[in-house]
Structure 1
Amino acid sequence: MEAVEWLKRRGIQDVECIVPDQAGVARGKLMPTEKFARSPSITMPTSIFSQTIAGDYPEEDEQFSHDPTDGDLIFDPDYGTLAIVPWASDPAAQLIHDARYKDGRPVDHAPRQVLKRVMELYERKGLRPVVAPEIEFYLVKPNTDPDYPLEPPIGRSGRPEIGRQSFSIAAVNEFDDLFDDIYDYSEAQGLEIDTLIHEEGAAQMEINLLHGDPVDLADQVFLFKRTIREAALRHKMYATFMAKPMSNEPGSAMHIHASVVDSETGRSIFSTESGDPTKDFFSFIYGHQRYLPAVMCILAPYVNSYRRLERYSASPTNVHWGYDNRTVGLRVPHGPPDARRVENRIPSSDANPYLAIAASLACGLLGLEEGGHPDDPIEGSARDMPFGLPRGLLEAVTLFEECEPLTDIFGKSFVSTFRAIKQAEYETFMRVISPWEREYLLLNV
């Protein structure tokens, strides 16, 4: 087998067989190379795809139920994702796996399969989506006590950042050694970084990826998150993809640029031969406007995610659109007609990349099918306009569960599982008493 020869040539001792769960966390098994060569598929319990971020499992109800035996699923390797693990102490490789039942059916609520299903729906129409994610994250001091607020780390100057440093090269240079490791780790894994910039917040960074196939790009974001965390730990820092890690700092997003091309010709369906925008282009925007509120629980999957959505901040709070307008949820960047695309600025950085990309493309697909037309583009600032998105997780979950067109795309199994996980996570959150409650309620009520 070619993969086994690849492992032997590089002296790989262990293989990390991994799969993204509903939160985008890498689950799996570590196997000696010799055992992997004999049996590259692995088994894990069915409950792996119903685990909350806290490690709990939702209670059963009329729509959601556990496998009473918690039997095994089979995970098969996607050899196109084989790469070394550059931060491992001993030579190791990693390989993303896909889940199937024992009878061969794919696990339809597995995040990677959800995205593949959306891709198949485009393929049936002779279409191929192209995406390019942008991921924001914060570097912070190590913090082992969750009762204490996070703080920016100390850079090479010996001082933490205290002011806004958007696009500052000097602020990026504060962490040159860390970014050298990120670039080296990425190159070793075949991950392609387009640009790296300093964002608005203190020690807030953004990495932009090259455009390409949605599944490939979701794989890259999944691996990038691991890479950045590992590189930061090597430099005695944390890298966090929380949507709103610090109270007085901006939130972190995962913007998704998307376009659609004809599978046969490779031409964008968003532009005519003369370079004008097409009806499909406007319908794609319309689909986002209509359905983004209903997939908000995927794009903003935690209670913390909604803290990012603040009026008069850099985070959008509506589904308006505009040309090169960063105050709206849907931005159309400047560019040549063959690169015409829509930037969905609503997803937060804590979202599972497979599900976030699937949700955004699902909205566009429904728009193409329905053929609607969006509102007029916003020319000025939209930051003082009313909220057009759910304000909290439970409201967002309800909108998702009640949207039949999205249920048809994602499948009842995924919708019921995801809804149960989010409700369980919310109940866990409600058991925690916040500093705000102690500050304002303790002696005043």
Structure 2
Amino acid sequence: MSAGDQWPEALPEAARAYIEGRHLDEVECIIADMPGIARGKAMPAGKFMRQEYFHLPDSLFFQTITGDWGEAAGEEGFIERDMILKPDLGTATAAPWTADATLQIIHDAYDRKGRPIEYAPRNVLKRVVALYHAQGWKPVVAPEMEFFLVAPNLDPAKSIEPMIGRSGRPAAARQAYSMSAVDEFGPIIDDIYDFAEAQGFEIDGITQEGGAGQLEINLRHGDPVKLADEVFYFKRLIREAALRHRCFATFMAKPIADEPGSAMHIHHSILDMESGRNLFAGPHGGETDAFFHFIAGLQSHLPKVVAVLAPYVNSYRRYVRDQSAPINLEWGRDNRTTGIRIPLSTVEARRIENRLAGMDCNPYLGIAASLACGYMGLIEERRPRPQFRGDAYAGEGDIPRVLGEALDLFEEARDLHEILGPEFSRVYSVLKRAEYDEFLQVISPWEREHLLLNV
């Protein structure tokens, strides 16, 4: 069945509203690669509606963030076998920054036998969600997105600087929750709201964070795949809004020295699929065994997937004591110094927040990894360490500090490979090792300054 046979009834309401009264010019057929970059092709809308699928080579998932290639092709070698990419029309959304009426549609990747490509990030998340469903559980997530608006940086050798706000002054740090600071970026935020409305996304709120030019957008809770799709779309939306105003939006974990990093905090709750009851809340409002098992799963297994939640060498610059990012996996109620936080909430909305993930992670993989750890805790029925009280930065760190160490832990985690997918785990490891080896060939200014004449 071609896309045109289901058109436009299968489109979300916002997409139908966007194209109503317009001549739909183009459809962007996209898929998230391993870093989370949108890959695919654009085609005339008429052609899109006449076809069932299109092809791209599987090497799309073997490409590093620098454009190089990891040797992840498997036994047959690097033959770039075609994948079959089929549209998920429920993901259709506007590309409101384009000159002509354009829709974006996320596609899923299959092999020639109709089996999902195991290392496609969206398929990884679907695999983990399916494990929950098999137990009668419905996972619910709510991601928070932190990012920086910075001055255009055309020379990588130069430090990244905060953007100039509407006052004509550079954005200043230590203005957390300041409405005046948010007003500095008013025109950009207006475009973010307008783009999000055109795309049918509901923003729960925008706040100024602690960094210079750092903002946070909260999304409403919902289905993990749907929310990962939204984060994937939002990254592009925010970049396009920033470029309209001659600045860059960056989702680097740590773009500016001496400023806090950017996280993608993930809030988790689990519902019983039959009753809709929150499994973290007991009949009388108390905390359940499932609540504690999920926390224990995060404590026990998150170190093994830090390489997924913090995928680049820069990611580890965020895990600095007293810099708004966790250094360990203690858990506490309403305590932002712990890696696992229990926010204030009603009983029905009781949830567990994973504060470890960086905003630079692929949203599909970051959410999948976090859910996988919680799932293991539920299955193993472990108990967490005692609740931490006080400042967790006073404690010891218990997460990897560099990418190489994190990859070692990931490669040894055979239990998690079975949940995330053995083939995904193999490809991801090969790809990240290639990136890490490439980074180690670069000599930094710090090394030249302090080692050239002193050692």
Provide the TM-score with structure 2 as the length reference.
0.95
Aligned to 1:239: 249
Cα contact 1:283–1:373 (8 A) shared by 2? yes
Distance 1:308 1:213, change over 3 A: same
Structure 2: gaps of 5 or more residues: 10-15
CA displacement at 1:410 relative to structure 2: 1.3
Partner AA of 1:420 in structure 2: V
CA displacement at 1:368 relative to structure 2: 0.3
Cα contact 2:173–2:213 (8 A) shared by 1? no
Cα contact 2:139–2:269 (8 A) shared by 1? yes
Identity of aligned residues (%): 53
In 2, Cα distance between the equivalents of 1:371 and 1:117? 21
Aligned to 1:293: 303
**Partner deviation per Cα, 1:374-414 (whole Å, 9 max, x = no partner):** 01111100102111101111111111111121011012110
SS of 1:297 mapped into structure 2: helix
SS of 1:383 mapped into structure 2: helix
Whether 1:25 aligns to 2:37 is yes
Whether 1:49 aligns to 2:61 is yes
In 2, Cα distance between the equivalents of 1:177 and 1:66? 52
Aligned to 1:398: 408
In 1, Cα distance between the equivalents of 2:55 and 2:108? 11
Provide the TM-score with structure 1 as the length reference.
0.97
**Partner deviation per Cα, 1:394-435 (whole Å, 9 max, x = no partner):** 111111111121011012110110001100001111121111
Partner AA of 1:149 in structure 2: S
Select between 381-390 and 32-41 the one with higher mean Cα deviation: 32-41
**Partner deviation per Cα, 1:45-85 (whole Å, 9 max, x = no partner):** 01011111011111359xx5564321210100001011111
**Partner deviation per Cα, 1:158-207 (whole Å, 9 max, x = no partner):** 10123310000000000111100000000000111000000000000000
Cα contact 1:47–1:66 (8 A) shared by 2? no
CA displacement at 1:11 relative to structure 2: 1.3
Cα contact 2:62–2:71 (8 A) shared by 1? no
- Aligned match of 1:328 in 338, 349, 374? 338
CA displacement at 1:345 relative to structure 2: 0.3
In 1, Cα distance between the equivalents of 2:195 and 2:76? 39
Select between 4-13 and 25-34 the one with higher mean Cα deviation: 4-13
Correspondence list, 1:140-289, <5 A: 140-289=150-299
Aligned to 1:307: 317
CA displacement at 1:337 relative to structure 2: 1.1
Select between 433-442 and 289-298 the one with higher mean Cα deviation: 433-442
Whether 1:35 aligns to 2:47 is yes
- Aligned match of 1:380 in 390, 400, 414? 390
Aligned to 1:112: 122
- Aligned match of 1:3 in 3, 7, 29? 7
CA displacement at 1:146 relative to structure 2: 0.2
Structure 1 stretches of 4+ moved >3 Å: 4-10, 64-68
Partner AA of 2:58 in structure 1: T
Cα contact 2:310–2:360 (8 A) shared by 1? yes
Cα contact 2:57–2:82 (8 A) shared by 1? yes
In 2, Cα distance between the equivalents of 1:391 and 1:136? 21
In 1, Cα distance between the equivalents of 2:437 and 2:411? 18
Aligned to 1:77: 87
CA displacement at 1:325 relative to structure 2: 0.5
- Aligned match of 2:107 in 97, 101, 125? 97
SS of 1:254 mapped into structure 2: coil
Partner AA of 1:337 in structure 2: V
In 2, Cα distance between the equivalents of 1:368 and 1:161? 44
- Aligned match of 2:71 in 53, 59, 68? 59
Cα contact 1:60–1:66 (8 A) shared by 2? no
SS of 1:282 mapped into structure 2: helix
**Partner deviation per Cα, 1:220-248 (whole Å, 9 max, x = no partner):** 00000000000000000000000000111
In 2, Cα distance between the equivalents of 1:127 and 1:359? 17
In 1, Cα distance between the equivalents of 2:171 and 2:155? 22
In 2, Cα distance between the equivalents of 1:134 and 1:4? 32
Cα contact 2:27–2:102 (8 A) shared by 1? yes
In 1, Cα distance between the equivalents of 2:20 and 2:397? 56
Cα contact 1:4–1:37 (8 A) shared by 2? no
- Aligned match of 2:139 in 129, 133, 151? 129
Partner AA of 2:171 in structure 1: E
Whether 1:16 aligns to 2:20 is no
Distance 1:19 1:36, change over 3 A: same
Cα contact 2:172–2:211 (8 A) shared by 1? no
CA displacement at 1:4 relative to structure 2: 5.2
In 1, Cα distance between the equivalents of 2:172 and 2:277? 47
CA displacement at 1:40 relative to structure 2: 4.3
Whether 1:418 aligns to 2:422 is no
Structure 1: gaps of 5 or more residues: none
- Aligned match of 2:437 in 427, 431, 434? 427
Cα contact 1:259–1:341 (8 A) shared by 2? yes
Cα contact 2:72–2:431 (8 A) shared by 1? no
Partner AA of 1:33 in structure 2: A
CA displacement at 1:442 relative to structure 2: 1.5
**Partner deviation per Cα, 1:92-143 (whole Å, 9 max, x = no partner):** 1100000000110110110000000001000000000000000100000001
SS of 1:54 mapped into structure 2: coil
SS of 1:338 mapped into structure 2: coil
Partner AA of 1:190 in structure 2: G
